Each structure stands twice: as structure tokens, then as C-alpha cells.
A = this chain, B = another copy of it.
């Protein structure tokens, strides 16, 4: 008997019919001899509907009350799923994040899970019940509802799987696995049977959008076996696993990730003194804005240019914060643009192989795609390009690394 955590996103529970289909999947898993905990998102469209209501109340709704509001979305889904399970003769219990013992820190809208009290859930499982939990939410030390931020249901599922020491955390989604890149951009993109946590982390954070980044971090950290699979079709999906488990199948490059939601801000001609990066990025981080790429260049004697990217929705707020700070620091100017995109090649194989960067830059140059920023890590190389070249860049790189057929380890 395996203990599985299933997670179903908004599209998977987007209508009464789909919720019934989810109930069938869950029931089949129980009938196959598994204990199942289900984490559900809000029905697709519901969170946006609620946020729109909040927007009619206030331009900047109270963060605490926004959590109270949007957390109802998952509560609706979980109750409906339990009703559907009951119709199939499967006993179940639904729990909000608070009821399921998911405790978080005090931050609203972007809370982090601190610990999980699994007593109630385990008791139900041992009675043969399916436990259905509202994703995306928890409770803080004040007893207030918190949310983990959009997409946080994946994190709820992985955290629950870790706390329960589940055998597998299965993320059911509208895609049937992780691909070498987005098949809408490259039609012959290939589904990966396995991918490492580190690669998945880069793929997710760079915008492959299959899984929420924090859930992959969590899964890697706590050794939770993660599987992405389709809630609409059968199939084994993609298993996200540790590097060591399957060294032979390891390809040089696993995929091409990209992200359209970036914006770039440059502080020009700031005095190059120690701590300058902290003084610019610090206030941005304090405002709970996530900074992605950071590049610093010498622009002249004792002066430096400092460029970084943030999520496009945070652009205006960031620009405001940085402009104020730049004046204070005596910078020459602050500039920025939102019509950029990031493209990355990702692969753990990269660690031991030179030449990846040159293949990448050569391919882009051949198609006259100008590179605006470059940053690298052990298992990825990212470039920022003009947004209009994004699709071209992805296709070019997918071909250059021969990703439509499995790549041999050189």
C-alpha cells in the first residue's frame, strides 16, 4: 500500500464534470490499493473573480482580507470533490489549510509553510478515508488565514507529501509531462520521462509553468518523489527525481526554458563603492519583490551600471523604489523596459561539458538575435533578448541542441 498525494489544479477542477472526473481518478487510485490525500486549487477563473471583487473595493486591498477572500476558492473545490467522492461510495473529509494543520509564517499573500501537524489527516487515512485539502493556504500564529501566493497549491501538495512521508506526490495538470520546451512554440518538443530536481527548478523558475518553483525546491530538499501527469489523459507523465538515481539516461541539455513576464531595470552611473548592490537590491527585496537576474558592469572610472530583472507586474513599483534610492546614491539615471524576454538552456550535463555557451551564442547570432543580458549558473545559461525574438530564439536553440530526439551524452 502506497501513500500518495494527488494535486489537481484549477483547470482540472474547472467544472462540475471535471471535478467528477477527478473523483474517478482518486477512486481508481484508492481501488488500486493506495491511501490518497488530494490537494485542490480553486476552480479556474474563481480566484480571478474574487480578486476582481476585491479590486472593486479598493485599489490596494488589505493583504489580510485578500487572503480571507481568495482562500474561499479552494474551500469550494474541496467540498465539491468530497461530494463527488461520496457519490462514488468513497468516504472522504475536506479540510481547509488551517484544519489540515498547515501552519505558515505571518506574511500575507506570500506566506511560507513553517510546519504541518498531520495528526488529523493520518487519523482519517487510517480510517480508509480520502482526505481532500485546500491548496494555497494555511494559518498563521494569530489564527489568521494566509495564502502562499498564486500557484501555491503545488507547494501545499509537496509540503503535505513531505510531512506525511508519502511515496509520491503526483501533480495532475493540463499537460501530460515536462517537455524539452513549450510544444506551442516548438511543435516537435519531446516529453521527458525523467528530469532532475535541479533541472526542473531551472525549468520552472524560467517559466515552463508546469510546476511552481517553490514546490520543486521543497520536493528536492525533502526528497519527495514528484510526478507531473495529465488529469485528462492516462500516462506516466514525467518523474522528477534525484540526479543519482538514473545517471545513464542523463542528457547534456534537458530543455529550453523561457519567460515572457520579465522587466529590466538599470541604474546607470552609480558610484562603485562596496555595498552598492545591497543598497539597490535591499529595498526591492524589503518590498517583497523577487529579483531574478542581476548583472553588474563597470561603466567608467569609479562608476558602475547595475541591471536586474523583476516580474513584469512588479515593474512600476520597483522602478519607483529604485528611482528614489538611485537619487540618494548619486546615480546618473535609472532606465528600464518591459519588452524583454528570457531564454535559457538547462541541463545537469552542462556541469562537465564546455562549449554549451558557445553553441548557444552561435545559434542566436546566426539568426541575428541580439543578447541584452547574460547570466549563468552550474546547470543553465540564460540570456535576455528583445521580446519579439523570443519564439525564434527558442526554436533555434531547441534545434541547435537537437532536443527533438534524445541527446547522447558526449
Which A residues lie at the B interface, using CB under 8 A? 16, 19-20, 50, 53-54, 56-58, 61-62, 64-66, 68-69, 71-72, 75-76, 78-80, 82-84, 86-87, 93-94, 96, 99, 120, 143-144
Contacts and interface: CB of A to CB of B under 8 A. Distances in A.
A26 to B, nearest CB: 14
Given A62-B83, A83-B62, A86-B62, A68 B57 contact: no
A58 B84 CA distance: 7
A100 to B, nearest CB: 11
Nearest to A19: B57
A143 B99 contact: yes
Contact of A65 (B50, B65, B86): B86
A80 B53 contact: yes
Contacts of A87: 57-58
A116 B143 CA distance: 16
Most B-side CB within 10 Å, residue of A58, A65, A84: A65
Contacts of A72: 72, 75-76
25 contacts: A16-B56, A19-B57, A20-B57, A53-B80, A54-B79, A54-B80, A57-B80, A57-B87, A58-B83, A58-B84, A61-B83, A62-B82, A62-B86, A64-B82, A65-B79, A65-B83, A65-B94, A66-B79, A66-B83, A68-B79, A68-B96, A69-B75, A72-B72, A75-B75, A120-B143
Contact of A94 (B68, B79, B93): B68
Contacts of A120: 143
Nearest to A144: B99
A93 B145 CA distance: 12
Given A61-B86, A62-B83, A64-B82, 10 more contacts: A50-B76, A54-B80, A57-B80, A62-B86, A64-B93, A65-B82, A65-B86, A68-B79, A68-B94, A120-B143
A78 B84 contact: no
Contact of A68 (B64, B69, B75, B143): B75
A79 B66 CA distance: 7
Contacts of A54: 79-80, 83
A151 to B, nearest CB: 21
A62 B86 CA distance: 7
- A-B pairs, top 6 by smallest CB distance, nearest first, are A69-B79, A57-B83, A16-B56, A72-B72, A68-B79, A65-B79
A282 B58 CA distance: 53
